[in-house]
Amino acid sequence: MKMSKKNKYLRPSPKAFTQSFGVVRTTKRTRLTAFGYRAVRPMNNLQIDPSEMSGASGHGNPEVRLQLWDVNRTRVFHSPRFGRGVRTMLLDEYQERLFVGSRDALYSLNLERVDEHHKEIHWPSTATQVEECLMKGREKSECGNYIKVLHQYNRTHLLACGTGAFDPVCAFVRVGRWKEDAVFELETRHVESGRGKCPFDPNSSCTSTFSRGQLYVGLYTDYWENDAAVCRFDDRSHTRTERDDGQQLREPKFVGSVVIPDNDDQDDDKVYFFFTEKAADRDGNSNAVYARIGRVCANDMGGRRLLVNRWSSFLKARLMCSVPGPNGIDTHFDELVDVYVLKRKDERNPEIFGLFSATSSVFKGYAVCAYRMEDIRTAFNGAYAHRESPEHRWSAFQGRVPFPRPGSCASRVNGGQYSSSRDFPDETLRFVRAHPLVLEPVRPVHRRPILLRPHSQQSFTHIAVDRVEARDGHYNVLFVGTDNAVVLKVITIYNQETDTMEEVLLEELQVFKVPVPITEILISSKRQQLYVGSEFGVAQVRVHQCDLYGSACADCCLARDPYCAWDGVTCSRYYPAGIYTKRRFRRQDVRHGNAVQQCDGMQINGERPEEGDEKPVFGVEQNNTLLECSPRSPQAKVLWFRQRGEDRDQVETGERVVQTPQGLLFLQLQRGDAGSYLCQTAERGFIHTVSRFSLEVLQEERLRGLIHVEHEDGGEAPQAPCPLPGAPQGSTSRLWYKEFLQLIGYSNFHKVEEYCERVWCSDRGRKKLKSSPSKWKYPQERRGRARGEQSRTPRHILDTRIGRVAAG
């Protein structure tokens, strides 16, 4: 497209102008892409009401990205053998190793630096297994040995099981007794069948846990995935659920499992399984999908005449996660995606966190609910669900319940009358087989989700939780993995007075270059590290980097990160007084984020912005000019004022003056726009002056005459701001911007001249300007444009032409 005459002369882009004449770009507090790091702190007052759910998910997009080398927070391990990614991970704090199971391989990674000093075991399927797998019609990518089960068997060995090209296998891995042993070997002489311990299909759901020499597994045990079972294996016995019993399991999707003691008696320990299944609800809807929590006794040996080698204690309950609505109609999240068990000092009462999804033709969303063991035990000790036929509604069983109570363990709790489940009366075994479902569901803490994402644009895949002590209490920090390589770092705060849940999104961590789904998340509270698995590799991320919140007390307090506090000098890791430090001067307010109170009497940001120097910005008349100012927090409200002597008026925006997330944009700058401008942010009662600008408007006619020369044919041609390569000395008598500086009367001419030559005339500067894309566009032009047109140069701005001329 041919340009008008007034657009022929060269002008640097707004970015080049601001870099050259002192406009400093502000940074956000901390929204993180650890490949990129993002400064993020959305603080949404989450009203749990379906009518308002659409507003609960309004999170601003990250504004600032720091590269890995800037953040110094993430390490990534990748191996060519990863194939289809990480399938299981095992954290061993004692050995200081992270064990990873992938396709055809096992890895031992250094917990301190996962990308250094790793060991590898190559464990592929045999040629016979692969050949038979292909003959059965499977894809070649499915005929690998995908490691799905990985547990600490004892101090010197791991138990590993893989799919073995649809022929599951298990083996022991020797890791040595001490970390100095540096042993990582597969014991190939003891490879055995893994049927019943590991699924055939690498994409089949599976969960397992290991306790006191016994492996507990939830999986599909057959090739065609018709036989779903909860199993236990040890050296003496094999116990499982009934075959083809839809009352116990019906097309389940296994998610997680854990062994939790009820009391000091080990014989009363329970194994809990978390899964989603198709089940008939109280209204007889056979297509309903529910999240379940199942339970068996760890010492269950089955019955002597009935339920031989079958669980005599299997019970299940519905795991509820719903949003209360008007008129008692709730919005339910029934598909369990992931579960995390947060252990505490009292190992009998961990906190359970479930990640749920709800998917339909009109709605897709995610929620996180928290559960107490007290409520779980109450549900299992309650009434049994009963109905006369599939046409009847579920109701509480009203008949006589036999003793010992069906679903209980052979322990001292039952008076020590039975030393084994094989001694249980037949009446108890018949009852538990006929009534595996308890009536009352397990409801979450506060009867609502602690984290809600309705209409989410990204899918949530995994969750991990860390318990953190802050100055004003303890907080659960949630790390939620997504399908695009992002991990969300979130805390939630319950307001008892208003019965509402406030969500504070602290960071978004993009831990991999490519947008791959997160498949595993583990936390090392001891090392303050997060280990994230995907098909791309394993990333190691520090759970906090407090200095990125800013260098001021207010920035640190407004962040509301329980890991961080203001120590009088910097924003740093918070330690309770008397543990790692004797200093008691720690300013932190996670619950309210009240920076005004916490930082009262302190300098907010080094110097008072009202008393600081104005940043000069020069714009050309009838061109576009940006006053660049971004808040540290995306949730802060940005206010623009124009200073006229002692008076300060708020800037009125419209079609010509537009307030953008990057700053104040003038379209077709006019002489009357010259003056002093002030950028302020307001957040939670705290007002912070970010920047002051002095805008100078240059007359277009005078500037054009300085930077143009005449062609021999009488036409105009732009003059390069830097000497062309190979040009004789003195060929360019005067750089155009030197005359430009004289035009505007810049006082410190020599320093600015030296700076401009360094910025514009260095090889690095030319390359940067040459590759710099257009940045600012009319809002009207953005609407309705195709994606491929978004990089088109806006009117009156040719921010790449100067780079082309400078590069010759």
169 within some domain: no
Q: Are residues 273 and 396 in the same domain?
A: yes
Share above pLDDT 70 across residues of the chain, in percent, rounded to a whole number: 73
Cα 652 to Cα 153, 355, 676, distances in angstroms: 69, 45, 15
Q: Are residues 591 and 637 in the same domain?
A: no
Q: How far apart are CA 32 and CA 797, in angstroms?
A: 31
Give me the pLDDT at residue 50, please: 36
Give me the pLDDT at residue 443, please: 97
Structural domain ending residue among the three candidates 580, 604, 628: 604
**CATH number of the domain where residue 567 is located:** 3.30.1680.10
pLDDT along the chain (808 residues), means of 10: 38 36 32 40 34 37 37 79 82 93 95 93 96 95 96 96 97 89 90 96 97 96 96 89 94 98 94 92 67 97 95 98 87 96 95 93 89 98 89 86 94 84 95 96 96 90 96 94 94 89 90 92 94 94 87 86 91 78 73 83 46 80 90 78 89 93 92 92 76 88 62 51 53 51 52 53 50 41 42 36 37
Contact criterion met (CB below 8 Å) for 430 and 367:
no
Q: Are residues 664 and 738 in the same domain?
A: yes
631: Cβ contacts below 8 Å, ≥ 6 apart: 26, 28, 638, 681, 683, 690
CA angle, 698 then 702 then 706, to 5°:
110
Domain coverage including residue 365: 205-456
Alpha-carbon torsion angle 268, 274, 278, 281, nearest 10:
60
- Per-residue three-class SS string for 285-323: CCCCEEEEEEEEECCCCECCCCCECECCCCEEEEECCEE
Q: Are residues 297 and 424 in the same domain?
A: yes
Structural domain ending residue among the three candidates 456, 475, 501: 456
- Residues 82-137: tens digit of each pLDDT: 666 889 999 999 889 999 999 999 999 999 999 998 999 999 999 999 999 999 99
118 within some domain: no
- DSSP labels for 648-659? EEEPPPSSSEEE
Q: How many residues does the chain have?
A: 808
Q: How far apart are CA 14 and CA 237, in angstroms?
A: 75
Q: What is the CA radius of gyration of the chain?
A: 33
183 within some domain: no
Q: How far apart are CA 561 and CA 31, in angstroms?
A: 12
End-to-end CA distance of the chain: 22
Give me the pLDDT at residue 595, please: 82
740: its two tokens: 């430009």
Assign 12 to helix, strand or coil. coil
- Residues 698-719: tens digit of each pLDDT: 887 776 666 554 444 555 555 5
Counted domains in the chain? 3
How much of the chain is helix, strand and coil, in % rounded to 5?
Answer: 20, 35, 45
Unique residue bearing structure tokens 């579920």: 394
Q: Are residues 559 and 437 in the same domain?
A: no
**CATH number of the domain where residue 667 is located:** 2.60.40.10
Q: How far apart are CA 383 and CA 438, in angstroms?
A: 6
Give me the pLDDT at residue 807, please: 39
Give me the pLDDT at residue 584, please: 54
HSE-CB for 95 with a 13 A CA cutoff:
24
16 within some domain: yes
Q: Are residues 252 and 294 in the same domain?
A: yes
Q: Are residues 320 and 401 in the same domain?
A: yes
The DSSP symbol for 445 reads: G
- Residue 474's DSSP bridge partners are 469
566: Cβ contacts below 8 Å, ≥ 6 apart: 553, 556, 557, 586, 587, 588, 598, 599
Between helix 749-761 and helix 763-771 the angle, nearest 10°, is 70
Give me the pLDDT at residue 796, please: 38
Q: Are residues 571 and 718 in the same domain?
A: no
The amino acid occupying position 391 is E
Give me the pLDDT at residue 602, please: 58
270 within some domain: yes
114 within some domain: no
598: its two tokens: 């916490």
HSE-CB for 435 with a 13 A CA cutoff:
28
**CATH number of the domain where residue 231 is located:** 2.130.10.10
Q: Are residues 599 and 619 in the same domain?
A: no
Give me the pLDDT at residue 705, please: 63
Question: What does the longest C-alpha to C-alpha distance in the chain come to?
Answer: 112
Q: Are residues 784 and 801 in the same domain?
A: yes
780 within some domain: yes
537 within some domain: no
Q: Are residues 576 and 659 in the same domain?
A: no
Cα 757 to Cα 187, 769, 808, distances in angstroms: 66, 13, 16
Structural domain ending residue among the three candidates 398, 424, 456: 456
Q: Are residues 420 and 332 in the same domain?
A: yes
